[in-house]
A and B are shown apart, each in its own frame.
Chain A
Amino acid sequence: MTPVLDIRGLTKGFTMHHLGQGFAAFDNISFTVNAGEFVLLKGANGAGKSTLLRTLYRSYLPQAGAVLFQSAHGQIDLARAADIDITHLRQTEIGFVTQFLVARPRVSAEVLVAEPLRLAGVAQDEALKTARHWLQTFGVKENLWPAYPTTFSGGEQQKVNLARALIRPHKLLLLDEPTASLDATARAALVQRLSDLKAQGTAMIGVFHHPDDVEHLIDRVIDLTPDIPLQEERQDVAV
């Protein structure tokens, strides 16, 4: 079976012009992820876990290597794909879940959550209905649905963000500490949703501060700490 994602020799560093210097984030990373597989990234702070996720999503530009993704349109190298193709893939096949909501002034929680479906061509009523279902599932109180999340507490914003990010299935899902500071109800809902998506074949790469939250989902652990063998078959999650 061809892996959904085949990362080969991926390298990323940053140049900081005002300091006149650069630094490496990670160097020559290679691994693959199959459909329905959940890969946990581990490593100390600064090992490049989040940087790797952002590079795969192309918020960061890689410096070398290839990221071969099996899209619905055939294989494409995410490291070199045109911006417009990346935009398309983000709307259809590749999702990114963080703990931070990008709220917009005067846009209600339910409209914000429904937006990915609207962009995918789902009719307004249908999209809103699904949005409300997910807001409910993640434990956002009903009276907040038509309110503007700009004023919500951090925890409530995070739930809105999860509902938005997970409202539609993706072929590849990148997870950057989505459980941090979530209450128990929302965490359980998140783990359930991830578990369902995994069963449907979504490939996932995640960074979790407390991996025990997703313990039973993890198939493989990859350690990004330099000078440590990259892959470790999962025996038992000792992170």
Chain B
Amino acid sequence: MTLTLDPPRIVKTAPLVQVRGVSKSYGRVVALRDVAATVYPGEVLGIVGESGSGKSTLLRMMNLEETPDTGSYTLDLPDVDGNLFALDRFARRMLCATRIGIVYQNPHLGLLMKHSSSGNVAERLLVAGERRFAVLREKAKDALAASEFPLERLDAPPIELSGGMQQRVQLAKAIALEPALLLLDEPTTGLDVSVQALVLDTLKRLQRDRRITMVIVSHDLGVIRTLADRVMVMRRGEVVEAGLADQIFQDPQHAYTQQLVHAKL
């Protein structure tokens, strides 16, 4: 038994992201059931849950890679209107390229592994219409520097790089156009602990210096605790609990969240 929270009174800014009533089934398997999510500008929302909870499906929908059976998705940006799920394929691609960045757990999903790292980042700028070679190279370099990629390796293809470096190239590509929303799908899973700390630190720096709005999906509660302002807990396609990160970790309300938090090492 807890109190019902009021709507925001102090923070008057509209949420950047609003996902409402999203449901999706694959045949008889329900992947998402009536999911809602709100993210304010500059906020970092963490989504946790075990495999199959629907957290990655939800993230792919926010990247407009998938369309739900029902539900709506809006971004509060000057020239972006209406339900984004209703956009045609071309409009989706433009919106994703210019306003949304994503980092996948598997770099193969986000990168051309045999093209140069700077080329991978520049490709994003090309899609957005930049054609001047010098500008492309310079902007790609800036983005790689911001994600703390060693600049002497600009021309190395991702396939020759370590896992941590590949994630930095993905991150550089994701932030090259200064997106309004950065989506991160298990960005540090599978990396060595020391490399994981470096990537986390880079993300934290971007959060602090650029105030990028982020949604991060991870089953690693330590990663979520480090980065997220607010946490949403998912199970079997539903949101079981959402709240301030410290509240979710210190005073979890739902039986499943308690189980999850107590299972953390």
Residues of A that sit less than 8 Å from B by CB:
14-18, 54, 58-64, 71, 73-74, 76-77, 79-89, 104-107, 115, 118-119
Contact = CB atoms under 8 A, between A and B. Distances in A.
Contact of A82 (B7, B200, B229, B258): B7
Interface residues of B, number: 35
B198 to A, nearest CB: 6
Nearest to A17: B255
B251 A86 contact: no
Given A17-B258, A61-B251, A107-B204, A85 B8 contact: yes
Which of B5, B200, B229, B262 has the most C-beta atoms of chain A within 10 angstroms of its own C-beta?
Answer: B5
A76 B201 CA distance: 34
Contacts of A58: 244, 247
Contacts of B1: 63
A80 B262 CA distance: 26
A105 B6 contact: no
Contacts of A54: 250-251
Contacts of A73: 9-10
B178 to A, nearest CB: 19
A51 B246 CA distance: 14
Interface in B187-217: 197-198, 200-201, 204, 208-209
A234 B2 CA distance: 34
B244 A85 contact: no
B2 A71 contact: no
A62 B208 contact: no
B5 A80 contact: yes
CB-based closest 6 A-B pairs: A105-B197, A17-B255, A82-B8, A60-B251, A85-B10, A61-B2
* Residue of B7, B243, B251 with most chain A CB atoms under a 10 A cut-off: B251
Contacts of A81: 5-6, 9-10
Contact of A107 (B3, B201, B209): B201
B230 to A, nearest CB: 6
Interface in B75-108: none
